[in-house]
Amino acid sequence: MIKLQQITKTYTLGKRELQVLKGIDLSVEQGELVAIMGPSGSGKTTLLNIIGCLDRPTSGSYHLDGKEVSSLSSAELAAIRAKKVGFVFQTFNLLPRLSALANVELGLKYAGIDDRDLAVEALRRVGLADRANHRPTELSGGEQQRVAIARALVKRPPVILADEPTGNLDSKSGEEILSLLTELHQEQGITLVMITHDPDVARRCQRIIRLKDGLVVSEERT
């Protein structure tokens, strides 16, 4: 499903060049549940953004679902994000002026699917059917993250990418979110890649990939 070969990423800050990823080789099979760990600044988010086609690598090749995507145009990348990738962020990233349902519908909009019932169904799946008309400010952090998950999964993408999805939550709602994600992974056979700092969370994944200074330092199966 995901196949990275010698991926590098260099940021240019003025005249200084900063190589954040220094040659990553990584494969993720379809339906796998993978955790990415590593110290702060090791390049986890940068890697996830490249996997999610939000960013382009500086060099290396990347095949997503069998297609080389490392050199596509921004419009082509947008189309891939719209159909194949669902993002879940640490900070939820809901649109504050839209209701929970409208936020979930946004997940369908750019995938070109026009079916409100799917959005209602996704909200029900994350247990928020009765909160459809609430705005994000009227929801708890855990509930907001559920809406974000519903938004990511509503278009049934093959890949869901989560960047510290429990990072802003207390341990109880973090646990609930984690259970929800693992359940969805099992139910729907989604490929799920998740960044986490929490070893307990990582242990529940099938594989743990550790990054340090832009390189994969270890891979272990749990």
Partner 1 sequence: MKRQQPAQIKGLKKWLDPVYSAWTSIATHKLRSSLTILGIVIGIAAVIALMSIGRGAQAQILSRIQGLGADLLGIRPGMTMAGGIRGGFGSASTLTLEDAEAIKEQVPYIAALAPTFSSYQQLVAGNQNMNAQVIGTAPEYMFLYNLEIADGDFFTDYDYQRGSRVAVLGANVKQTLFGDEPPVGQQMRIGGNIVRVVGVLKAKGAVWASPDDAVIIPLTAMQQMVTQPRTSRGERVVTSIALKVTDQNQIEFVTQQITDLLRSRHRLAPGADNDFNITSVQSTVEALKEATGTMTLFLSAVAAISLLVGGIGVMNIMLVSVLERTREIGILKALGARERDIWGQFLTESAFLTLTGGIIGVVVGCGVSVLLSRFKVMTTLLSADIIVLAVVVSLGVGLFFGFYPAWNASRLDPIEALRYE
Ligand X SMILES: Nc1ncnc2c1ncn2[C@@H]1O[C@H](COP(=O)(O)OP(=O)(O)OP(=O)(O)O)[C@@H](O)[C@H]1O
- The residues that touch partner 1, with contacts defined as CB under 8 A, are 49, 52, 54-55, 74-75, 78-83, 85, 87, 89, 93-95, 97-98, 106-107, 109-111, 114-115, 117-118, 151
Whichever of 97 and 203 has its CB closer to partner 1, that residue is 97
Q: Which residues pair with 159 in a beta bridge?
A: 85, 191
Alpha-helical segments (H) within the chain: 44-51, 74-84, 100-109, 116-125, 141-153, 171-188, 199-203
- Least distance in Å: CB of 58 to Mg ion? 18
- CA atoms of 156 and 150, how far apart (whole Å): 10
Which residue has 């196949």 as its token pair?
3
Torsions phi, psi for 44 (to 5 deg): -60, -50
What is the footprint of Mg ion within residues 39-68 (CB under 5 A)?
A: 45
Around 27, how many Cα atoms within 13 Å sit in the side-chain half-sphere?
A: 3
- CA atoms of 108 and 111, how far apart (whole Å): 5
Q: Does 46 bind ligand X (CB under 6 A)?
A: yes
CA angle 135, 90, 141 (to 5 degrees): 40
Q: Does 99 bind Mg ion (CB under 5 A)?
A: no
- Helix (H) / strand (E) element for 40: namely none
Q: Find the residue with minimal CB distance to Mg ion.
A: 45
Contacts with ligand X, 25-44, as mask; x by CB under 6 A: -------------x-xxxxx
Q: CB under 5 to 8 A by kind: which of partner 1, Mg ion, ligand X, none does 62 bind?
A: none
- Least distance in Å: CB of 113 to ligand X? 31
Whichever of 94 and 195 has its CB closer to ligand X, that residue is 195
Q: CB under 5 to 8 A by kind: which of Mg ion, ligand X, partner 1, none does 20 bind?
A: ligand X
Q: CB under 5 to 8 A by kind: which of ligand X, partner 1, Mg ion, none does 11 bind?
A: ligand X
Tokens of 151: 């938004």
**Within 10 Å of residue 133's Cβ, how many Cβ atoms?**
10
> Contact positions toward ligand X, by CB under 6 A?
11, 13, 18, 20, 38, 40-46
